[in-house]
Amino acid sequence: MVDITVYEYKKMDIDNAMVVIGFPTVGMVSSIVANFLVKKLELDMIGGIASDELFPASVVHDGRPAPPIRIYAGDRVCGPKGDCDQLVVIATEFPIAPDMIGPLADTILDWCRDRGCKFLTAVEGLQTSLDDDELSVYYVGNTDNARNMLSDLHVEAMSNGAVGGVSGVLLYKSFSEELDVGCLLAEARAEFPDSRSAAAILEVLDEMLPEIKVDTTPLLEQAEEIDKQIQQAMEHVKQVQKPDERAPPTGMFG
């Protein structure tokens, strides 16, 4: 049996909270989104989740060590209808072992239910090879209420496919829970941190933060810089791999 402990460093009333889940995913989209929200909205670290089965590391922020999975929160008007009073972000940058995903999802759901949280939103990257400037964002909801709330955000429902990792398990394990759970998925490229896809999800989440305008310009600028660096690297690789005109034709030696 997996032993997972939730530490609470700071007591906070979160009985009407929207919870954003950010675990490593395609293009590190969810981790980028989670860390962006924490920094820009100046959320306090109120706890963490630890287990001997998690990645054996301590995350250091501002000189303070924390478990691999951190819990941040702050008083904010938020939620699909603006009817939540606190925003909670549960985040990590470390991969979760497959046999830990189920127990971890159970722990998160139990904690959210015990604290009276109202709406849980997981964030995911959806692998794509598209290079279009306009990346699609989709949603999946565990209940009719969750689906109705997410559809009002002008994103497309994911009709068929699969949602993996912690997000996918949270969706099906919460099917009969008294907790609305949704997942936002943005098309992303897997080969590098995709800030552009993270910005696309943040623009959707921004509609659930009526008191705050989340400026995604820094992320978009970062995405443009990453794209330039990748293009330059690819051009360099092409030059290095350019066939030597003096080389013998293919097949000369049988």
Residue 159, domain member (yes or no): yes
- Per residue, the 3-state secondary structure of 41-101, as one string, reads CCCEEEEEEECCCCCCCCEEECCEEECCEEEEEEEEEECCCCCEEEEEEEECCCCCCHHHH
Instruction: Identify whether 226 is part of a domain.
Output: no
Range of 175's domain?
A: 5-214
> Would you say residue 245 lies in a domain?
no
> Can you tell me the distance from the alpha carbon of 45 to that of 213, in angstroms, rounded to the nearest whole number?
22
Pairing of β 119-127 and β 64-66: unpaired
Give SS3 for 36. Answer: helix
132 Rama sector, left if φ>0, alpha if ψ -120 to 50, beta otherwise: beta
CATH of residue 99's domain is: 3.40.50.10900
CA distances to 3, 147, 182, 210, 220 from 144, rounded to whole Å, are: 33, 5, 11, 23, 33
Over residues 97-130, the pLDDT tens digits come to: 999 999 999 999 999 999 999 999 999 998 876 6
- Which of 198, 190, 169 has its CA nearest to residue 181? 169
Continuous segment of H or E residues that includes residue 187: strand 180-188
Residue 220 lies in a domain: no
In a domain, 242, yes or no: no
Rg (CA), the chain: 21
Model confidence pLDDT, tens digit, residues 74-83: 999 898 888 8
- Asked if residue 233 belongs to a domain, the reply is no
In a domain, 122, yes or no: yes
pTM: 0.84
pLDDT of res. 220: 73
176 domain residue, yes or no: yes
pLDDT at 65: 86
**pLDDT on residue 79:** 86
User: What is the pLDDT at residue 226?
Assistant: 57
Q: Quick one: pLDDT at residue 49?
A: 95
- Asked if 117 contacts 176 with a C-beta cutoff of 8 angstroms, the reply is no
Count of domains observed in the chain: 1
Q: In the chain, which stretches have pLDDT less than 50?
A: 241, 244-254
